[in-house]
Chains A and B, each alone.
Chain A
Amino acid sequence: EVQLLESGGGLVQPGGSLRLSCAASGFTFSSYAMSWVRQAPGKGLEWVSAISGSGGSTYYADSVKGRFTISRDNSKNTLYLQMNSLRAEDTAVYYCAKGGSSVTARSLVLDYWGQGTLVTVSS
């Protein structure tokens, strides 16, 4: 059974940093692209970032480019999102999701999602 478990969310001040983790199990983690998607309170879904199975290719939404860094440790079956220079508008539930065998957009169907972790940016 595929399982994705996010952690690391919490309250952070504007300008601060936070690192999210997503522990994966039930599939060959290194063979699949992974993605982060966020949802601000009461709002819709926003794609944030994606990474290839090897970790060699990464993609970002313009809204987070230069501030967020996606990475993965395939030896630990764990996906990460390092978030720096956080802003109030980054407040959201952050979901990790499993993509396809390639990180091309056309393979990024998100077939399994974690339960999400809440990040609140406020002073």
Chain B
Amino acid sequence: DIQLTQSPSFLSASVGDRVTITCRASQGISSYLAWYQQKPGKAPKLLIYAASTLQSGVPSRFSGSGSGTEFTLTISSLQPEDFATYYCQQLNSYPPGFGQGTKLEIK
């Protein structure tokens, strides 16, 4: 199975900051990676797929990049509603597992 490791696991930042979350795959997955946002008590929400394609309706301050084994999710200017937990998911092969999550907290 392909393992995904996110870093950092916890991130403290302020409104207006630029933040980057990294997701590393244990083997190459081309661009078959998605990013999700989850707020407490809510279902995950798709942000980005195919490593860099923004899902419809997602603000343009979110962006994704990478291919192969290293990927990043960047939020260009944090807004109050962005404080949440973020997960990457590999879609190269079954099982389509998730990273362990990155919790983004308000500083």
Contacts and interface: CB of A to CB of B under 8 A. Distances in A.
Interface of A: 37, 44-47, 50, 59, 61-62, 95, 105-116
Contacts of B101: 44-45
Nearest to B45: A113
Contact of B34 (A62, A95, A110): A110
Question: For chain B, what secondary structure do more than half of its interface residues adopt (helix, strand, loop), or is it mixed?
Answer: loop
A95 B38 CA distance: 13
A107 B92 CA distance: 9
B44 interface: yes
B43 A61 contact: no
Given A44-B98, A46-B98, A109 B43 contact: no
A109 B94 contact: no
Interface string B70-94: 0000000000000000010101111
Given A47-B89, A109-B49, A110-B89, 18 more contacts: A44-B98, A44-B100, A45-B44, A45-B101, A47-B98, A61-B95, A95-B43, A106-B91, A108-B91, A108-B96, A110-B36, A110-B46, A111-B46, A111-B49, A111-B55, A113-B43, A114-B43, A115-B42
29 contacts: A37-B44, A44-B87, A44-B98, A44-B99, A44-B100, A45-B44, A45-B89, A46-B97, A47-B89, A47-B95, A50-B94, A50-B96, A95-B43, A95-B44, A105-B91, A105-B93, A107-B91, A108-B91, A108-B96, A109-B34, A109-B49, A110-B34, A110-B46, A111-B46, A111-B49, A113-B44, A113-B45, A115-B42, A115-B43
A37 B45 CA distance: 13
